[in-house]
Amino acid sequence: MNEQGLRELIESIRSGTTNPDDAVAQLRRLPFADVDGALVDHHRALRQGMPEAVYGPGKTVEHCVKIVAELLEHGSGPVLLTRTDSAQRAACLEAHGPAIEANGTLLWRGAEQTRTSDVLVITAGTSDLAVAHEAELTLRAYGFAPRLIADVGVAGLHRLLARLDDVTSADAVICIAGMEGALASVIGGLTSVPVVAVPTSVGYGAGLEGVTALLAMHATCASGITVVGIDNGFGAACAIARMCP
């Protein structure tokens, strides 16, 4: 239930097209529904502007199927199931039909452009693309039409300079980089718009599975950069959704 849906329900009660018993049945699932011990948060879109997404790791196949079913039947807006394994994906696709897929994330509903901001997703290397695709799909779920530029890291800075107009024309940038994470500082120094940096676990020994990039992004001298957790393309997209129309 989002704000628009609640207004439509109230209006339908007033006009008589929805009877009070049906309205009570819908409202009974607010603010959450108990699905075999999982408390599905139907109130989140009203509070945060974005519906609850489902995090796959640690959940049984049966839980994933039932939670997605609850959101599809009684929720509003896009339904995202993230970081799935092959068994979770297969079961949910069989139960709920086709979905848009990227890096283990599944999207039912959504993907229509309802936001006006031009969001650029940019990666240092092609090894960062899995995280970028997760960010892209999440942005699409929440109404954006993101653009992607890949493989323009600082080891070949001329590649980025060739796309400088794309960077400076964007309304917001998600910058995804592993190794030493330097691309985020470069992007933060080139544009005044919101920049969300995502460290990835890409890199050799001293990269420490993304910790080096994470610390470097936090230590950047390009002020005002937002940094999310390692490999968290989903979180970066949600940060953009909170910032941008």
pLDDT digit string, tens, across residues 192-236: 999 999 999 999 999 999 999 999 999 999 999 999 999 999 999
Instruction: Spell out the domains of the chain, with CATH numbers in brackets.
Output: 33-108 (no CATH), 119-243 (3.40.50.1970)
The chain-wide mean pLDDT, for the chain, equals 90
Count how many residues are written for the chain: 245
Question: What percentage of the chain exceeds 70 in pLDDT?
Answer: 93
- pLDDT tens-digit series, residues 131-176: 999 999 999 999 999 999 999 999 999 999 999 999 999 999 999 9
By the 8 A CB rule, do 165 and 143 touch?
A: no
Query: Comparing 37-41, 95-99, 192-196, which segment has the lowest mean pLDDT?
Result: 37-41
Q: Which residue has the higher pLDDT, 50 or 114?
A: 114
Confidence at residue 165, expressed as pLDDT on a 0 to 100 scale = 96
Measured from the Cβ of residue 202, the count of other Cβ atoms closer than 10 Å reads 23
Band of the pLDDT at 111, cuts 50, 70, 90? confident
DSSP three-state, residue 55 = strand
Q: Lowest-confidence range among 75-79, 103-107, 132-136?
A: 75-79
Q: Is the pLDDT of residue 116 over 90?
A: yes
Q: b/e string for 58-88 if b means 16 or more Cβ within 10 A? A: ebebebbbbbbbbbeebbbbbbbbbbbeeeb
State mean pLDDT over 42-57.
81
Q: What are phi and psi for residue 115, nearest 5 degrees?
A: -110, 150
> What pLDDT is attached to residue 33?
76
